[in-house]
């Protein structure tokens, strides 16, 4: 379909279309390759957004700008009658700047918003339980992602290359972070991994070159190869497990290349006070320049004093204001000053 149409700039898709076959809108098949080369369409025109979300795609259908009934879509609002968005539905659509997904949506296909470079923020609805593979890969303008407590899995390469993300707070509902999930998120400076995460995939945060602070809670039992490799500015790692993960134990595992090329010989590892010596003799962990005990504020041992603090004074590590304390690190502010930092 449209093979060799190298001058094609705009396409209009009617709502009667339900399926788009393999390799539409591709250039002429090159003799040296066994597959057609992609063409990126400038403008895609549709007259029914719900119908477009449901089209079954067997390809990477790429376009830069989406027009609904003749008007370009900047702020994408998915209709309430949509329950699932098919894979690559908005792949490469650089004109979209924000997305609102209703609670009616329970699944989003692989690569749905991949390479939407103009996208700056997204709120995942409570109806979602997983972020599929490559859903937001290459969204370089994305600065804010709000995860609901319903999400349990973040898929492979889900946010790879989202260079605009500066901080990340993963909800307690998440149990698994896939391979390369946040690889090359070079804007990240801090990451908070909650207690319920039990596995962090290979290279999941690799090449996050500006990551300085990493908080690993004690529920983790598997840290795969290069998960935090090439994070060359890493300064502080907080790990709340009393027992260091070791490669010799089947049920708990840490790969020896976990921090490969991250210069941890210049970083500080913060661990429970009674476990410092254990970490100093454990593979991988012993390579940190300093291994020090967690302070009272960092461990949450020191109880909050009885005092009147309004709900507006509570903040999470990523700066989000919350109505009440959350599991993980909490910040309590009075005026413009940080009054307490504690772990619940």
Other C-beta atoms lying within 10 Å of the C-beta of residue 138: 21
Q: Ramachandran region of residue 157, left (φ > 0), alpha (ψ -120 to 50) or beta? A: left
- Asked if residue 310 has pLDDT above 60, the reply is no
Residue 258, pLDDT score: 95
Instruction: Please classify residue 70 by burial: count the beta carbons closer than 10 Å to its beta carbon, then call 0-12 exposed, 13-18 middle and 19+ buried.
Output: exposed
pLDDT tens digit string along 117-148? 999 988 888 999 999 999 999 999 999 888 88
Give every CB contact of residue 7 below 8 A, 6+ residues apart in sequence: none
Judged against a pLDDT cut of 70, whether residue 254 lies above it is answered with yes
d(CA 54, CA 142) in angstroms, rounded, equals 25
Q: What are phi and psi of 67, to 5 degrees?
A: -120, 125
pTM, rounded to two decimals = 0.80
Measured in whole angstroms, the distance separating CA 155 from the mean position of its chain's CA atoms is: 9
Instruction: Tell me the CA distances in angstroms from 176 to 1, 239, 280, one per residue in order.
Output: 40, 17, 28
What's the pLDDT at 329? Answer: 57
Percentage of the residues of the chain whose pLDDT score is greater than 90: 58
Is the pLDDT at 342 greater than 70? The verdict is no
pLDDT at site 34: 41
Q: What DSSP designation does 297 have?
A: H
Instruction: List the one residue out of 170, 178, 230 whose CA is nearest residue 204.
Output: 178
Question: Range with the lowest mean pLDDT among 103-107, 298-302, 332-336?
Answer: 332-336
Average pLDDT of the segment spanning 314-328: 55
Sheet holding 329-334, edge to edge: 314-316, 329-334, 337-343
Distances (CA, A) of 115 to 39, 63, 92, 238, 286: 15, 10, 5, 33, 39
Residues 321, 326, 328, 331, CA torsion sign? positive
Is it the case that residue 311 has pLDDT exceeding 70?
Answer: no
Quick one: pLDDT at residue 113? 94
For residue 96, pLDDT beyond 80 = yes
171 or 314, greater pLDDT: 171
The pLDDT-based confidence of 187 (bands split at 50, 70, 90) is very high
Q: What mean pLDDT value characterizes the chain?
A: 83
* pLDDT confidence of residue 32: 44
HSE-up (13 A, CA, CB side) for residue 121: 5
Judge whether residue 247 has pLDDT over 70. Answer: no
Measured between its terminal Cα atoms, the distance across the chain in Å is 57
Rounded to the nearest 10°, the torsion over CA 191, 197, 200, 201 is: -120
If one compares 340 and 50, the residue with the highest pLDDT of the two is: 50
Confidence of residue 193 (pLDDT cuts 50, 70, 90): confident
Whether 237 contacts 288, CB under 8 Å? yes
Residue 312 confidence (pLDDT): 46
CA 238, CA 316: separation in Å to the nearest integer?
16
Tell me: the pLDDT tens digits for 24-34?
444 444 444 44
Which burial class, exposed, middle or buried, applies to 67 when counting CB atoms under 10 A from its CB (0-12, 13-18, 19+)? middle
Q: Does residue 221 carry a pLDDT above 90? A: no
Question: HSE-up of 177 (CA within 13 Å, CB side)?
Answer: 35
* pLDDT recorded at residue 118: 96
């Amino acid at each position: 379909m449209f093979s060799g149409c190298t001058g094609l700039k705009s396409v209009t898709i009617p709502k009667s279309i339900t399926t788009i076959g393999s390799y539409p809108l591709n250039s002429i098949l090159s003799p040296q390759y066994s597959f057609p080369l992609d063409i990126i369409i400038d403008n895609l025109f549709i007259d029914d957004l719900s119908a477009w979300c449901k089209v079954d795609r067997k390809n990477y259908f790429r376009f830069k700008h989406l027009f609904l009934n003749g008007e370009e879509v900047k702020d994408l609002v998915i209709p309430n009658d949509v329950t699932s968005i098919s894979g690559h539905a908005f792949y490469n659509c650089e004109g979209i700047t924000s997305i609102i997904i209703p609670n009616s949506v329970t699944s989003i296909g692989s690569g749905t918003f991949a390479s939407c470079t103009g996208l700056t923020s997204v709120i995942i609805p409570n109806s979602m339980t997983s972020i599929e593979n490559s859903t937001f890969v290459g969204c370089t303008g994305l600065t804010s992602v709000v995860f609901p407590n319903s999400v349990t899995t973040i898929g492979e390469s889900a946010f790879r290359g989202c260079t605009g993300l500066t901080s990340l707070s993963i909800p307690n509902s998440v149990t698994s972070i896939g391979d390369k999930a946040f690889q090359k998120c070079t804007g990240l400076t801090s990451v908070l991994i909650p207690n319920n995460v039990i596995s962090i995939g290979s290279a999941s945060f690799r090449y996050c070159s500006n990551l300085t602070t990493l908080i690993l809670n004690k529920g983790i039992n598997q840290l795969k190869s290069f998960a935090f490799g090439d994070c060359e500015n890493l300064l502080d790692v907080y790990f709340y497990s009393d027992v260091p993960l070791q490669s010799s134990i089947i049920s708990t595992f840490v790969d020896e290349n976990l921090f490969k090329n991250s210069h941890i010989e210049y970083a500080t590892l913060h661990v429970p006070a009674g476990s410092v010596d254990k970490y100093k003799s454990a593979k991988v962990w012993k390579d940190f320049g300093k291994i020090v005990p967690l302070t009272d504020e960092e461990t949450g041992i020191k109880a909050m004093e009885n005092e009147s603090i309004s709900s507006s004074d509570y903040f999470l590590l990523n700066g989000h204001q919350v109505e009440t304390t959350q599991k993980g690190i909490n910040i309590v502010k009075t005026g413009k000053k940080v009054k307490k930092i504690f772990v619940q």
